[in-house]
Chain A
Amino acid sequence: MSAALATAGLFALTGVLFLLPLIPAIVELRLKRDAQALNVIQQYAGDIRHFSFGFRSYASDLLVLLEQCVAAGGTATGTLPHGDRYVLLGRPDADLLLPPGSTGKTCDLVVAAGTDLTLPGGITFEKEMYALRQLNGGENCTYRAILGDDGIRLGRASKVIRWAHAAKSVHVDKDCDLYGRISSDLEIELQSGCFFQRLHAPRIAFGSAASDMNPNAAPRLGPSTETVSSSVAVGRRLVDNDLEIAPGEVVTDSVVTRGGLRIGAGARILGSVKSNQHMAVDSDVLVAGSLISASTMHIGANCQIGGPVIAEQEMLIDSGSRFGTFEKPTTVSAPVLEVEEGVVAFGTIWARNEGQVVPRK
C-alpha cells in the first residue's frame, strides 16, 4: 500500500469516526421527531376541581340518563364511549353495585346515584362515582374518585385514591387515607387519624371540636390589621441571626431572620414573618400577613394567621389555631403537615408528601 493511500485512508477513517456521533443528530434534524415546544398547558390554572370538571364533562350523557332513571325510580346499566361499564341508580339500591353471585367486594362499574345513597362497608370502587344527592360511605371502603352534587360522608378507615369533590360538605370519619385532591364548595371536616394531601374548601375543620366553632364568628384580627394582611407592602426588619419576639410584643413591620425565630405568646405582628431556620410560634399569636419558614415550623395553640403559611420542611399546628377567614381565604402548605384536632382553615391546605390529623394533646 502506498503512503498516499494510507494517508487518505487515515483521513477517511478519521472523518467517519468524527461523523459517527453526528448521524443520530442529522437524522433527528431531518425527521423532526421531537421538535415540538415543551408541553406547557396554557389553560391549566391549577384548579383543584380540574379532574372533577373533566369527569363531569366525560359523564355528561350519563347524567341525562340518570335523571330519567330517577324519574322512573328504576336502574340502568350500559357502557360508556371509552368502554367503561356503568350503573345508574334511580333508587337507593346498593346491591346492584356488586355483580350478582360475586363473592368479592370490588365494584368495577362507574356508579351514578340519583338519590341519597348509603353504601355497605368494605367495597372497593375501581371507577369513578357520581352522587346527585347525599352519599354516605360505609367503613373501609376504597374509592377511585367521587363527584358529589350534594354532600359526601366517608366512613371510618376509608380511602380515596385520586380525588373527591362535593358541592356541599365533605365529612371524613376517623383513620381515612385521602390521596390526591379533596375539595368542597362549602366545607370539609376531617377527624383524627386521617391522612391527607391537598384540601380546598371555604372552610376546613379538623376534628369535631373545630366544627363546633361558630363559622360566622368575627375574626380576632381587628380591622386595622386586616387591611395590612391584604397587602404585601409594609416595612421590613432584617435580622442576621436568631430572633425572639417577646410575649405580647406588637410588631408593625415584616420580620425576616436569617436564623431561627421564636414568637412569644400573645405577640401581634401586623406584617409578615420569615425565618430561614426553625420557627416556633407560641400560643395566642396573631400574624396579619404571611408566615414563612425555610425549615420547620411549630404553630402553638389558638394562633391566628391572616396570610399564607409555608414551611419548606415539616409543620406542626396545635389545636385552636385558625388560618384566614371566610372573606380572606389563604393557603397552608408544607411537605409534611401535622394538624391537631380543633384547627380551622379557610382556603387551601396542601401537604405535598403527607398530612395527618392527630388528637388534641
Chain B
Amino acid sequence: MIYCLFAIVAVISLYTARHYWFTLNRLFGFQRHPYIDTDTAVWPQVTILVAAHNEEKVVSHILAALMGVNYPQKKMLVVPVNDRSTDRTREIIDRFCEEHPGRIRPFHRTGGKGGKAAALKDAMELVDTEVILIFDADYIPGTGLIKQLVAPFFDPEVGGVMGRVVPLNVGTNLLTRLLDLERSGGYQVDQQARMNLRLVPQHGGTVAGVRLSALREIGGWNDNSLTEDTDLTYRLLLHGWKTVYQNRSECYEEVPETWHVRVKQIMRWAKGHNQALANYGFHLLFGKHRATLRERIDGFLLLGVYIMAPITLLGWVLALGVFYEGIAPLHGVIALLSITAYSAVGNFAAFFEIAAAARLDYTRQRICLLPFLILGFGVSIFSVSRAFVSQLMAPLTGAQFHWDKTERFRTTP
C-alpha cells in the first residue's frame, strides 16, 4: 500500500512540476507567436464549419459575426452543420442563407450517428478547400479572427491550429466566474507555454482549423471519439503534423451556467480524453512515429490529466489507510506528508498558474476568487472519477456511446 502511495505522490509531483514549468515559462520565457504578424497574403480558399445541434439561441450570432469578418468574401464559404436539430436552427440558418447568397451553404443532417465528429464527417462532402476552420455555434468570432487562424497554414508543417477561447457570460454566477479563471489558466498559460516550449498544444475543436490533406492522411474525423479534438491532436502528432496555438486569436464563447451542465460537459471531456489515452498513449510513448521526445512526454502527460482525478482520490484513500493502519515508515509522517503534498503544493501549482494567467490578462479583482476554485476542483475531481468508473463499467453494463450536447443559456435574440 505504501509503495502504491509513493508512486501516486511521485506522479502528482510530476504534474506539479509541470504546472510550475509552464507558468514560469509563460511569465519569464520567450513567447512564440510566429504567424500573428502575417497580415498580407494571397489568402487561400477556406471552409468554415459551424457545428450546430439545437442551437436556436445562438446560431444567428455566429453567422452574423462570420458575415462581418475581413476575410476576402470570394474565398470563404460558411457551412453550418445542422445536426438533426429539432428546434428553429434550420429555419434560422436558411434565412441567413437567403440573405447572403453564395456565402453560406448549409448542411442539414437529419439522421445518422450522433455526435459532433459524426456530423463533421458527413459534412466533409461539401468541403473541397485545403483549409478548414471549425466553430461551435455559441462562439462569436471577431473581424480579424479568420485571417489569424488561416495564417499558420502557410507553414507546411502545420496540420492544426487552435485559437484562444474567452468566456463571454463571465458575470452570471459563481460557476461562470470560476470557469473564466480556469479557461484563463488553460489558454493564457498552459496552451501558450506548450507553444513556447514546442510541446503539444491541444486542438480544441472550435476556434480551430485543420488542413484537409492532413485530415485525409490521418483518416478523417473519428466518429467513435467523444472528444474529436483530442483525437485529432494525437493523430496529427503521430503523423508528423504540428498543431499550433495562437494566443492572440481570441474568440468569445458561452460557458455553462449550471453545475449540472458543467458536470455533463466535463464528464464527456474526461471520457473522450481517456479514450484517446487508451488508443494512443502507449504508441505515443514507445511507438515508431514522427513525434519528438519532448512531444512524446508532454503528449502523454496531457493525455493523463483526466486519469489523475481518480488516481488522486485513490491516493487520498491510501494515505488515510496507511495512516490508520500504522504501516507507514516513520509512523504516519509519510502519510501525512503525502496528504499535504498534493493538497497544498499540488493544488497550489494549478492556482499559481491561474493567478499568473489573471496577471497576464491585466485583470485585477477576479483573482480574489481564487480560494473558491477548490469548489470547482472538488466537483471536477468527483465528476471525472465518476466518468472514469462508468467508462470502466461500460463493457459490463452494456452502456452505449452517448453524446451530451452542452446546453445554451443566451437569451438575447
**In the assembled complex, which residues on chain B have CB atoms less than 8 Å from the CB atom of A361?**
none
Majority DSSP secondary structure for residues of A touching B:
loop
From 31 to 82 in chain B, residues with beta carbon under 8 angstroms from any chain A beta carbon are 32, 34-35, 37-42, 44, 65, 70
> Which of these binds chain B: A31-39, A55-63, A97-105, A134-142?
A31-39
Q: Known pairs A28-B366, A32-B171, A35-B170. 9 more at Cβ < 8 A?
A: A40-B252, A41-B142, A42-B142, A45-B70, A232-B130, A258-B292, A307-B42, A347-B41, A348-B39
Interface range, B side: 35 or more
A233 and B368 contacting across the interface, CB-CB below 8 Å: no
Instruction: Name the distance in Å between B249's Cβ and chain A's nearest Cβ.
Output: 10
Bound CA–CA A257/B347 (angstroms): 40
Instruction: Name the distance in Å between B133's Cβ and chain A's nearest Cβ.
Output: 13
A21-B371, A238-B290 known; A43 vs B142 contact (CB < 8 Å)? yes
B95 within 8 Å of A by Cβ? no
A28 and B369 contacting across the interface, CB-CB below 8 Å: yes
* Interface size counted on chain A using CB atoms at 8 A: 58
A289 and B154 contacting across the interface, CB-CB below 8 Å: yes
The 0/1 profile, CB within 8 Å of B marked 1, for residues 317-342 of chain A is 00000001000111101000000000
From 270 to 312 in chain B, residues with beta carbon under 8 angstroms from any chain A beta carbon are 290, 292
B87 within 8 Å of A by Cβ? no
The 0/1 profile, CB within 8 Å of A marked 1, for residues 166-195 of chain B is 111111001001001000100000000000
A6 within 8 Å of B by Cβ? no
Residues in A lying within 8 Å of B, measured CB to CB: 21-22, 24-25, 27-29, 32-38, 40-46, 48, 200, 229-233, 236, 238, 240, 254-256, 258, 271-274, 276, 289-290, 292, 294, 307-308, 310, 312, 324, 328-331, 333, 347-348, 350, 352
Bound CA–CA A48/B211 (angstroms): 28
The 0/1 profile, CB within 8 Å of A marked 1, for residues 355-368 of chain B is 00000010111101
Bound CA–CA A185/B148 (angstroms): 23
**In the assembled complex, which residues on chain B have CB atoms less than 8 Å from the CB atom of A310?**
34-35, 37-38, 154-155
Instruction: Name the distance in Å between A260's Cβ and chain B's nearest Cβ.
Output: 14
A25 and B38 contacting across the interface, CB-CB below 8 Å: no
When C-beta atoms are compared, the residue in chain A nearest to B198 turns out to be A294
B38 and A331 contacting across the interface, CB-CB below 8 Å: yes
The 0/1 profile, CB within 8 Å of A marked 1, for residues 99-127 of chain B is 00000000000000000000000000000
Option from A21, A37, A232, A271 in Cβ contact (under 8 Å) with B170:
A37
Instruction: Name the distance in Å between A234's Cβ and chain B's nearest Cβ.
Output: 8
Instruction: Name the distance in Å between B217's Cβ and chain A's nearest Cβ.
Output: 9
B154 and A292 contacting across the interface, CB-CB below 8 Å: yes
A312 and B34 contacting across the interface, CB-CB below 8 Å: yes
A230-B42, A272-B156 known; A43 vs B143 contact (CB < 8 Å)? yes
Instruction: Name the distance in Å between B4's Cβ and chain A's nearest Cβ.
Output: 31
Option from A37, A294, A308 in Cβ contact (under 8 Å) with B168:
A37
**In the assembled complex, which residues on chain A have CB atoms less than 8 Å from the CB atom of B211?**
232
**In the assembled complex, which residues on chain A have CB atoms less than 8 Å from the CB atom of B220?**
none
B371 and A232 contacting across the interface, CB-CB below 8 Å: no
